[in-house]
A and B are shown apart, each in its own frame.
Chain A
Amino acid sequence: MEKVRRKPRLKSGHWFVILALAPIIILYAVLRFIPIVQTMYISFFEWDLISAHKPFVWLDNFKELFSSDTFIQSIRNTSLIAFGVLIFSVPFAVIIAAMLDRGVRFKSWFESLYFLPYIMPMVPVAVAWRWILDSNHGLLNYFLSFFGVPAQAWLIDTNLAIFSVVMLTVWKMVGYNMIIFLVGMKGISKENYEAASIDGATGIKAFWHITLPLLKPITVFVSTVTLIQGYNVFSQVYILASDIQGAPGHLVRVLVYDMIESGFRFYKMGYAAAEAVILFLIVLVLTALQLMLLRDKKTSRKGMKR
């Protein structure tokens, strides 16, 4: 008997789901998807923000990007900051989380204390850090003077300015990463530690051989998010090191800053769009890398609580 093919019909439940999701899908499309596609489109044009003449230039904007010292410097600075933040904030967060996980007094108080910078808005925080890092009257130089360290030009010296941005970002990010690690640590079954202690692995050994391997999915997630946020660095650089007299100007030129300047200062929206596409590709690769690592078969969930 021949099978009768039925026309797929949407049930009322389906319509409810579609209607309920429609606003957020429309919002996502308008605010995210369409701008991304539009940005890619603009990147192939010499798109002056004001002029009506916008010739199609194919890949010229990208060619110009990679021959521009400013762009190369922006990529270099952004990568230095992103990886600098990653290198410092993830290990610090693991260490702090491990210490708090061992059960210290006033644990919740410490958790709040470390998490507080993360929820504070970046602008006032960066303004406060400008004062801390001031080479003449800054708190940091005052503190270092007790150890015989001469006053440093934190926001003026090229390398120190980048380090200052890393320092501020790590300070702000570490609380968030700590909370994620703390949740991960809570998920590790005590049986693993008990079994390890029978084999003589306690303290640092247990941390190294039990905690860290079982935290791998969390570590990959935290590292990727930190790296992506690092590549999007802007506000702290803008406040600490740009457009303000007395700040080091463009020593800490980063990708997002360069993009804004190209688009809204030099009116080169096509060029700025090409920069945005590069940033998009970087973030896309990092996200793909995260998904790949999370799918790694070696990553075991056996030790996690069910």
Chain B
Amino acid sequence: MRTKKMILAAFIGVLTIAMLLTGCGNKSGESSTGSDSSKSVKLSFWTGYSELDPWVKKAAEDFKKTNPNVTIEVTSYPLRDFEKKLAASLPSKSAADIVTMNHSLSYRYIDANLLQQAPDNVGQFAHSGAFPDLYVKNLGPDGKTYGLPVFKNANAIFYNKDMFNEAGLTEPPKSIDQFLEYAQKLAKSDASGNLVRSGQSLRISGGGSGVTEKFWILLAQRGGSIIKEVSPGKYKANYNTEEGYQTLKMYVDMLFKYHTDDAKIKHDTEAFQTGATAFFLRESNVVIDTAAKAPNLNYGTAPLAANVEQQDNFYVTTADKDKQEMAWKFLQFLMEPESQKNLMTMTGWLPVRKDLDLKDVFVKYPQFEAFFPAHQDAQMYPSLPEYDEIQTKLADRLMTKGYTDASFVDNPQKIKDFLDECAKETNEILKKSGDLAE
């Protein structure tokens, strides 16, 4: 009896340990190795932009026609969750074979050898003049190529033509100085004085660094920026300036002095598509989204005097040579003119390639034209790993105080003190990373 119990206990123990170990197995069985090009290759693809999903899937199907041995599995996640997923999966070598990532984030992973350098032919293609220089320099450090650009992320003014006509406005605002005046003319309140339609829908809430990005775009119209490169590789906060003051003052005036926007009403794309705002600033993907969700909306777009561009690149993470070869081949396939046009018409994001003929796309979607102005000052996200922290923490302060404290109205000193306080934090983050200009 006792022996039986012992055997049973030992069996349970062995079974439990076996089950634990099974869970720790690697997934090498999923990938095929070897140099035979006809051998089946299964690639996984992750992105933080769900809009890219149908485009990449279509491209994967098309790619399979000429590469029948390659299967690509595409998965998308909400952007902020995706960034955290990358942080956890890349160091543990469990990320997808191809991932999209903001270039400023990529430098950490490149330093840690977690992203693969592109083969020579891809590097030559990247530097062939097909992409603007502003983007090429962000494909990797020291002129090396580690990625290929996903899309151009730029903003324009989206305005409701019917509302503008109703307010007697014949054209969209030409400069930021007109924004407040336009917002006052376009905002609408009900009989009890509650705002039912904002003049300009401001980004005053939301997670991540987007709140700062929108502040930055308005700041850029006045020539300002969030940080400034004082000497090569050394930066300091650059929004506790007259430009920064004027920008925050505009927010405060719109929210509390003239009440052309209110935290309680709908914001952003949803507000625009449902008629809860007259104009706002947004990226090009709104064009395709609006075509699907509000096809009868009578709206136009207008270019901004200055823009802030964000660059996300495709990166290859896998160390498996066969997979690497196919992954780069597929990424080059995505860069082909036809595929780049599909990117625009299927997702609304703008292709980075500058050698495309987009006339037929503009005929179908005239709103895209405002994203390709002849002259525009463009600021690119700096290649600093800590920049996301800078933007996120500034967004925190803007949301919790900058955009909620009504006592800022007609109180320039209070606004300036607030900006100084924020800038102090920005400089501390830069200092901790060794990037502060003393």
**Residues on A facing B (Cβ under 8 Å):** 12, 15-16, 19-20, 22-23, 26-27, 48-52, 69-70, 73, 135-136, 151, 153, 156-158, 242-251, 253, 260-261, 263-267
Contact = CB atoms under 8 A, between A and B. Distances in A.
Contacts of A52: 112
A151 B80 CA distance: 30
Nearest to A22: B13
A23 B13 contact: yes
A247 B87 contact: no
Contacts, number: 120
Given A50-B108, A260-B84, A245 B392 contact: no
A246 B386 CA distance: 25
Contacts of B270: 246
A260 B194 CA distance: 38
B144 to A, nearest CB: 18
Size bin of chain B's contact surface: 35 or more
A12 B264 contact: no
B87 A246 contact: no
B108 A246 contact: no
Contact of B9 (A20, A49, A263): A20
Nearest to B83: A265
Given A70-B396, A158-B404, A265-B388, A136 B205 contact: no
A249 B266 contact: no
A69 B396 CA distance: 11
A244 B207 contact: yes
A136 B114 contact: no
Contacts of A158: 400, 404
A19 B10 contact: yes
A244 B206 contact: yes
A267 B395 contact: no
Interface of B: 2, 5-6, 9-10, 12-13, 16-17, 20, 78, 80-81, 83-84, 87-88, 90-91, 108-109, 111-112, 114, 194, 205-208, 210-211, 263-268, 270, 385-386, 388-389, 392-393, 395-396, 399-400, 404, 425
Contacts of A249: 205-207, 211, 395-396, 399
Q: Is the interface of B mostly helix, strand, loop or mixed?
A: helix
Contact of B206 (A26, A70, A246): A246
Given A136-B264, A246-B268, 15 more contacts: A16-B6, A16-B9, A23-B12, A50-B108, A51-B111, A135-B264, A156-B264, A245-B205, A246-B270, A247-B206, A249-B205, A249-B207, A249-B211, A251-B399, A261-B392
Given A50-B112, A156-B264, A242 B17 contact: no
B264 A153 contact: yes
A208 B313 CA distance: 67
Nearest to A24: B16
Q: Which of B87, B386, B404 has the most CB of A within 10 A?
A: B87
A262 to B, nearest CB: 9
B9 A19 contact: yes
Contacts of A73: 400
A12 B399 contact: no
Contacts of A265: 80, 83-84, 87, 388-389, 392
Contact of B78 (A50, A243, A253): A243
Given A12-B6, A158-B404, A249-B211, A20 B12 contact: yes
A243 B81 contact: yes
A135 B195 CA distance: 13
Contact of B396 (A23, A27, A253, A260): A253
Contacts of A26: 16-17, 20
Contacts of A248: 205, 399
Contacts of B207: 242-245, 247, 249-250
